[in-house]
Amino acid sequence: MKKLVFLALIVATCISVYAFKVAGHEDPCPNEGKPNPKKGKSAVLKPREKNVNKHKNRQSIPGDADYDKTVTIEKMYDSKDDSIWNEENAASITGYVFRAVDNNMESCNCYTEDKTKYSTNIYLSPTPIEKNTRTADCIVAVIMPYSRTINKDWTADYVNEKLVGKRITVSGWLIYDIDHSVGSIMTNSNGTQPERRTIWGICPMTDLKVAQ
């Protein structure tokens, strides 16, 4: 009888663990993120990758004292030195909306399949949008999942439907996103498929206003 009770407890425990995992609570994503599981159990993130993820996953709104007032979109446009600013500071930049694009699985969201955990890039041009404008001419401000807890309307659809071509000011934490070094003109001028001007940007975005 005792064996049956013991077996029943084991079965009940296994079912509870399985249900817990199915509910999506099995393994919380740490701020430092996780490597791509498709690369195997031996895959690891480099210290600098972990540091970038920690900055991407910040969950706080900058205070007035956090802002570096020297940062402008024009200065960011020609920036490639990681020491020019401090990622512990915040900034506000003003530019013209080119487009917004949803991201996918990344190490910062632990390669989850939960699309609510994905980020969105807003591409901002220092100059008015023209027919020849490219994402490679733009600075990136990132709407992280935390950003959408501030304003649920901050989505790619909203930006693309309401803000394209408009001059806006975005605010948030500074980031030097080495994950995109290959696709940045300022860090890889010989790249064949540039997708941004610089890896300096705003992430997470914590404020957005249409500029007057």
Domain layout of the chain by residue ranges? 2-30, 47-210
Handedness of CA 107, 48, 25, 116 (dihedral sign): negative
Quote the tokens at residue 50.
């972990």
User: Residue 18 — very low, low, confident or very high, per pLDDT cuts 50/70/90?
Assistant: very low
- pTM for the full model? 0.86
Q: Which fold, 47-210?
A: OB fold (Dihydrolipoamide Acetyltransferase, E2P) (2.40.50)
Of residues 61, 62, 85, the one with CA closest to residue 72: 85
Q: Mean pLDDT in the chain?
A: 89
Quote the tokens at residue 133.
């404008």
User: Is residue 201's pLDDT more than 70?
Assistant: yes
**For position 212, what pLDDT does the model report?**
76
CA-to-CA dists, residue 154 to 5, 87, 112, 136, 205, angstroms: 53, 23, 20, 22, 10
Residue 203's identity, in one-letter code, is: C
Q: Which residue has the tokens 């071509």?
A: 165
